[in-house]
Amino acid sequence: MIVLQSIYLSLRDDLYKFASSIAYDEHEAQDLIQQALEKAMHLDDLSSWPKYKQKAWFYRVMKNQLIDQRRKFKREMNIDQNEEVILSTFMKTSIEMVELLSQLSAIESDIIFKKYWIGLKSDEIAIKLGLSASTVRYHLAKAMKKLRKILEEEQ
């Protein structure tokens, strides 16, 4: 821990400049540095590397972390936008909605209900159903695809 602290102190300015140059704002830059430091705690031999390799490792970790975050955000935004478009195109009466949901599997209709009528997020739904959040998003996307197909057939 003390070794990591000395590495951080020697690279602090460079890490901050790099993180600030790739991040949207100061908070995101600080988060990137913190996440890189957390990963560095699991490396046993980081202190034996030359300083330029340490710096390169931190840069690569921060850049990869930022890419992962942006991909996740983009994926979540695309899912949310697609769902809103689909739902807005077929806002129907409650009876018609119940009929539409009855054409889905029990888990899919339950997820749609919890997402759009109760307003839960996928991680909250996952906790209630005992599933992972990614599984909930998978079922949600599958259900939305089925609903889209049903509605296209009706028109």
Q: Is the pLDDT of residue 87 over 60?
A: no
Amino acid 130: pLDDT:
92
Position 8 scores a pLDDT of 82
Give the residue-averaged pLDDT of 60-78: 81
Write the burial class of residue 142 (CB in 10 Å: 0-12 exposed, 13-18 middle, 19+ buried).
middle
What is the distance between the alpha carbons of residues 155 and 59, in angstroms, rounded to a whole number? Answer: 53
- Check pLDDT > 70 for residue 81: no
pLDDT at 94 (0 to 100): 62
Scan for tokens 């705690």, then name that residue: 41
Torsion of the alpha carbons at 19, 21, 25 and 29, rounded to the nearest 10 = 0
pTM: 0.49
